[in-house]
Structure 1
Amino acid sequence: MRSVRAFATAVTASVLLLTACAGGGERGEWGGGGPAGPQAPTGERRDRAAPPPGGSPGAGRSGAEPRAKASETFSNPVVKDLWQPSRMAGATAAGTDVGAAPGGSDPAPEPVTARQVPRPYHRAMAPVGKVFFDRPEGPTVCSGTVVRDPARPGRSNLVWTAGHCVHSGARGNWMRNIVFVPAYNDRGRAAGRVGAAPPQDVSPYGVWWADWSQTSAGWLRHGGAHGDAAGSAYDFAVLHVRPEGGGGASLEETVGAAVPVWFGAPPADRISGVSVYGYPAADPYDGARMFRCTGPPGRYAPARRAPGLYRVGCTMTGGASGGGWFVDRDGATVLVSNSAIASTRHTWLAGPRLGRAAWEVFDAVSRRPSGR
């Protein structure tokens, strides 16, 4: 049931190779050679995550990225049996739609129709899942990915997602009752049948509660309804999770795989293709099934003084927010971004480049003592 190789093969089959790759990694299974954890842009093997050299890739004229901010107000106590299949099925999409960007963006890509991921998901895509949470509007859903933790090789409890899936941004608050469900709706039941399905079919690896969450200072300063266009460049977050029912096995051990994060990946014009995964839930999708888009990325500039984003043609809608963007790096499938914003007509998605601010968020969660 747990196949690291199947996961790597499934993603690699839909990922186009990087035009310019860093060397030094051995060819291997999901994530390839080297230590568990994010891969440094130089290709060096390190015991802990290494910050991208030279500061922020893609930084705008404003200079340095906002530094990571500690989330001391975060509180997310476990509410046992809250997220039953019926409540999950009724969660609405989280997403941010935007119009035209100011100058500096590449031409808008042609739309790429999202394709369903083969089922059952646990065979090849177990680390991809849904992030559920409560906000004032009610139960809401995003997507997320299990990522490697350099502090706990082979035993990661970390999930990568979007900032707006954990915090509402400027002048806002943390979301409540945040959980991660890997390989959600494993067999891809129709939306109308998910609510009455057995829990083991809807959450085959269980429900994992976030006991810590951290996002960027840039998202807390610029993101959300009271922020500005620059917020999307910092729309990323990391969760530390634990199983609802307790137990000694980590999330990575439970699902059988985790993906490395590549901080400081090349700009869009040096990447020939990316694969984007998620669970779109806004019309015309219903959130019941996992989809993917694959294509060459371009550069998207949300604001004149903000770092640029990656952008790719894709018809996925809200609910796919936070889903991973994957590339093949010397035979290893790695995460380079997450879905953050979409066009108002749902013809493309854009995700932040993961520079030093992203690494600082990740490193802060990785270094935090488990359960604190």
Structure 2
Amino acid sequence: MWSKKVLQPIYFYRKRITIVAFITILSLLFLNLITPTKINSAVASGNGDKLLTIFEDGKRFSFKTSAKTVREALAEQKISLEEHDHIEPSLNDELDGVEYNINIYRAMPVIIKDNNYKVKVLSSSKVASKIVSDAGIKLYDEDKVELIPSTNPAEDGTSTVLNITRAKLVKVDLYGKETEFRTRAATVADFLKEKNIKLEEQDGISVEKTEKISNGQHFRIWRNGKQTITNEEDVDFEVEKIKDSEKEAGYKQVKEAGEKGKKTVTYEIEMQNGKEVSRKKINESQTKAPKKQIEVVGFKQANLSYTGGGNKTEWLSASNIPQSEWGYADWLVSKESGWNPNSTNRSSGACGLAQALPCSKVGADPYNPVNSLNWMNNYVMRRYGSWANAVNHSKTKGWY
């Protein structure tokens, strides 16, 4: 048996060849898209399990490396960075993948002109605002910055100039509140429109709207009749004092610094011809609570000399101890209680400046320093005949 072979027209075969060729081209394109690493690897220099591609000044090249960080990889290729150059990713980034793109932005000199101020800086940025920021120059939103070609590259030492056109500073007393504005407006009318300040029929302004705006200009806008204004004001903090009997009088240490709070206060004011003629508080709201300040202050009595002379203290002055005996009294009280009126012996219960035992001997309020000194004076004079004798006994026996 044999079969008859059907012959197709020539255009049929041409069509099949075209389709096969088209599919082949698509396959090659697809493989190229999904396997760029293999292609890059084939042309990359060096050895290693990671592929790095460097992009710098519109150029690129690839290399293989086993470096652990970007810094190590660049060192292998003897690529160094200057202080103002910028790199992405950073030098200390770890290389824990298989393929990386490294962007290097080399710093270039730029002349910055800011009114009469002129300085040359190095910057790796191509954005004007970023160059100004890197140079530490403060900009306001209303200032204008632009990169322009240098008119004298030989003198400037660079082909790029960054020009700053400063906005004008205007101070306005706006309805009773002094406010600073920066503007590029030519006239007062342009300024009011730029800042969206709409004057009502009862409003007044101290300059003509057609007046040209100048740097440092000052004018007032007010509203006649009654109106309200809201101000932010400070709230003073409270001071808590902790007395320390171990520190001399006059000693002060801030243990915890206080902080002022904030409050908003609304006033109803009456204006006539731009001047305030009356003011009345109608509301007050605390927006931030003040923080209490804690201070440690000395409460220790001044020491008197042993000779009996010296400065008077409040407690001794109020007691019945003769001034001629104050030096002896100071020595004995210092030994017994350290001039702490609240001193209490945990073992015996002796208390007060005199360390009376039992504490009840002093009578009412034994911790009152004057009561304690009066009892002590009576006890010393009755038992020893003088304060000097009491001191000598204490030095010999250790008690009085």
TM-score range for the pair, normalised by the shorter chain length = under 0.3
Larger radius of gyration: 2
More helix by share: 2
Q: With the length of structure 2 as denominator, give the TM-score of the two structures.
A: 0.15
Larger proportion of strand = 2
Higher RCO (Cα < 8 Å, 6 or more apart): 1
After TM superposition, the score normalised by the length of structure 1 is 0.16
